[in-house]
Amino acid sequence: MRIAIFGSGYVGLVTGACLADGGHHVTCIDVDRTRVDMLRSGGCPIWEPGLEDMIRANTAQGRLNFTDDAAEGLRDARVAFIAVGTPQSPDGSADLTYVDAVARDIGRLTENRLLIANKSTVPVGTAARVQDIVDDALSHRENRPTITVCSNPEFLKEGAAIQDFKHSERIVIGTSCPEDEQTMRDVYKPLNWQHEKILAMDVPSAELTKYAANAMLATKISFMNEIATIAEATGADVEKIRVGIGSDSRIGYPFLYAGAGYGGSCFPKDVAALAHTARTTGCQPRILDAVDAVNVTQKASLFRKLARAVPSLEGATVAVWGLAFKPKTDDVREAPSLDLVRSLIEAGANVRAYDPVAMETFRAALGRQADRVVFTGGNLDALTGADALAICTEWEEFRMFDPDRLASRMRGRVIVDGRNLYDPSRVAEGGFHYISVGRREAE
């Protein structure tokens, strides 16, 4: 099948590469010419394990192409995925500017029968909105091919995106049209052959399922962060509590980690967008508001802890390990490290930062303030002359505590750990003042 994909970001590229790998002929369309040129020349604009190789292999087989020309991408396509960004608007709602623009292009340029599959995370009613925009564009044309819209939200995780896409636990398809459902089953045939993963449902339920999933995961994180705050105040240990409750099969272990607050391109905006949907439909999003409020406080907690442990941050040097919002990605959108580094710069501290893959994206996200940060070639370099070390991301290379190596480079002896990587008693034995999340401080 010929497939067009609008948006060559984390979702669009993974979808395109995996569907091409499954034998489809895929053209990825993006408005960013630089991105398209890079992809055409064998590069990959994002860091996602295994993606570059998969893109290269499928491009070489002629099953995967890239263009910035929507008409070219749509030529003979049977299905067009929308996988463009849906960032947060100032009022919390999902900004549908990019989705609308794709719908207009499709309505203007499509020549044949087409099914639009909306993979971007969008509020209930967006499939109908896309259909209206397409129909309006078609009404100005002589050739009016049949174009319909279904919802096909994406559940992949950055860092494990290919595995998640190819071996997903479920494929949600929202449509009330049996023919469109069958077309989507054909699209996913290469990935749906060992056991049935497709959950077909009505469009509003499919659109809301994605928000409900992300809101549930964000709720688990904020819940554990609240328990961590109570543990800090009472002398309990959140890591012991995590195991204590995770062992209950009704609760389970995943997503019970207290930390520096959730970030990334999805949870913060999706919680806000769902709360906005609730408010505009007369519902009170009491849990969602609390989840967000806890997260805002949690993201500020690393700086608060540092400011307490290093009384004069002005002129002090702070090493920051980990900039990505989680390991195995270069994505820094809404990352706790951004809040921390901005606060440190405002406090007059010198920041020495290191991340294995996210330094360029972090530099871009920080903008002009990036001039105030020294980006180092390795994690040990970042420690040179540091009064304190702050850990924001649990990359594997940070997980071994080596007091001698730290002490030989650092000036101070403070570690603020937003990921609970180390055993507090061992860090204290190593001569450090260790402040983690939801556990007693150790020195």
Label residue 337 exposed, middle or buried (CB < 10 Å: 0-12, 13-18, 19+). Answer: buried
**Total number of residues shown for the chain:** 443
Size of the site for ligand NAD (CB under 6 A): 26
Give least dist CB 383 to ligand NAD, A.
Answer: 31
Q: Is 326 annotated as a binding residue?
A: yes
Which of residues 11, 238, 366, 437 is near ligand NAD by CB under 6 A? 11
Task: Report the residue closest to ligand NAD, judged by CB.
Answer: 9
x/- string (CB under 6 A) for ligand NAD, residues 105-144?
---------------xx-----------------------
Collapsing DSSP to helix, strand or coil, 241 comes out as helix
Which tokens belong to 26?
């895929």
Which of residues 21, 48, 154, 339 is near ligand NAD by CB under 6 A? 154
Give least dist CB 7 to ligand NAD, A.
Answer: 3
| Residues whose CB is less than 8 angstroms from the CB of residue 33 and which lie 6 or more positions away in sequence, other chains included | 68
Rounded CA gap, 420 and 416, in Å? 9
Which of residues 3, 4, 6, 63 is near ligand NAD by CB under 6 A? 6
Phi/psi region, residue 322 (left: phi>0; alpha: psi -120 to 50; beta: rest), is left
Q: Is 267 annotated as a binding residue?
A: no
Please say whether the beta carbons of 151 and 180 come within 8 A: no
Does 83 sit near ligand NAD (CB under 6 A)?
A: yes
Instruction: Supply angle C-alpha 433, 437, 443, rounded to 5.
Output: 15
Interacting residues with ligand NAD between 275 and 334 (CB under 6 A): none
Which of residues 16, 22, 85, 327 is near ligand NAD by CB under 6 A? 85
Which tokens belong to 217?
């995961």
Residue 153: C-alpha distances to residues 49, 200, 423 (Å): 22, 12, 40
Give least dist CB 172 to ligand NAD, A.
Answer: 12
Please say whether the beta carbons of 238 and 438 come within 8 A: yes
Interacting residues with ligand NAD between 245 and 284 (CB under 6 A): 265-266
Rounded CA gap, 352 and 336, in Å? 16
Collapsing DSSP to helix, strand or coil, 365 comes out as helix
Collapsing DSSP to helix, strand or coil, 307 comes out as helix
Give least dist CB 182 to ligand NAD, A.
Answer: 24
Which part of the chain contacts ligand NAD (CB under 6 A), choosing from 132-140, 152-160, 318-326, 349-357? 152-160
Q: Which residues are catalytic?
A: 266
Rounded CA gap, 375 and 322, in Å? 11
Does 8 sit near ligand NAD (CB under 6 A)?
A: yes
Give least dist CB 2 to ligand NAD, A.
Answer: 17
Give least dist CB 175 to ligand NAD, A.
Answer: 19
Instruction: Supply angle C-alpha 85, 88, 93, rounded to 5.
Output: 115
Beta strand spans in 47-183 (E): 64-67, 79-82, 114-118, 147-151, 171-174
Please say whether the beta carbons of 146 and 116 come within 8 A: no
Which of residues 17, 18, 29, 365 is near ligand NAD by CB under 6 A? 29
Q: Which is nearer to ligand NAD, 214 or 298 (CB)?
A: 214
Which part of the chain contacts ligand NAD (CB under 6 A), choosing from 4-12, 186-194, 313-321, 414-422? 4-12
Which of residues 10, 211, 303, 432 is near ligand NAD by CB under 6 A? 10
Q: Is 30 annotated as a binding residue?
A: yes
Q: Is 263 annotated as a binding residue?
A: yes
Strand partners for 94: 88
Residue type, 259: G
Q: Is 121 annotated as a binding residue?
A: yes
Does 35 sit near ligand NAD (CB under 6 A)?
A: yes
Which positions make up the binding site?
30, 35, 86, 121, 155-158, 210, 255-259, 263, 269, 326, 333
Residues of this chain that interact with ligand NAD (CB under 6 A) are 6-12, 29-32, 35, 83-86, 98, 101-102, 120-121, 154, 156, 158, 265-266
**Numbered residues of the known binding site for NAD(+):** 30, 35, 86, 121, 158, 269, 333
